[in-house]
Amino acid sequence: MSLTRIDAYEVFYSANGFSPRIALKGAGNYIGMLVFLPNGTTLPADTVTKGQVVLYYCLDHYHNAIDLLRNEKPMYLFYNGSGPSFENGIKTMIEKVGEGEIVPPG
C-alpha cells in the first residue's frame, strides 16, 4: 500500500459545472485530488495522473472528507491501485480512545 502523509489541502468549489475537488499536499507537493461527482453518477476508477492520485467520491461524501481533513491529525492518503478490487482513500492513524476533539485555542 502506498501511504503518504497529508500536510495541507486546498478546496476547489468552482462554477460552471466543475465538480467540487479537494487537492492534497504532502511535503510541499501536490500528492492527490479528491473529486466529488453528483450522487448517482457511476464513478470512474481511481487513478494516478501526472504523479498524483485521483480518487472519486459521490458528493454525499464531501462533508465526511472535509471533516476528517479539518479535524484529524495526522492524515494519510493511501492508494493500492486502479479498479474495483483496490481500496483507496484517506485515513487517520491509531488514536487513543476518549482522546476527544481538538479545540483550537482562543
- Name the pLDDT band for 2 (thresholds 50, 70, 90): confident
**Opening angle at CA 35, ends 4 and 64, nearest 5:** 75
pTM of the complete model? 0.87
Q: What φ, ψ does residue 33 adopt, rounded to 5°? A: -145, 130
For residue 83, the Cα-to-chain-centroid distance in whole angstroms is 17
Radius of gyration of the chain (CA): 14
pLDDT of 102 = 60
And the C-alpha cell for 64? 465526511
What would the pLDDT profile of 26-81 be if each residue is shown by its tens digit?
A: 999 999 999 999 999 999 999 999 999 999 999 999 999 999 999 999 999 999 99
Query: Residue 84: which pLDDT band, with cuts at 50, 70 and 90?
Result: confident
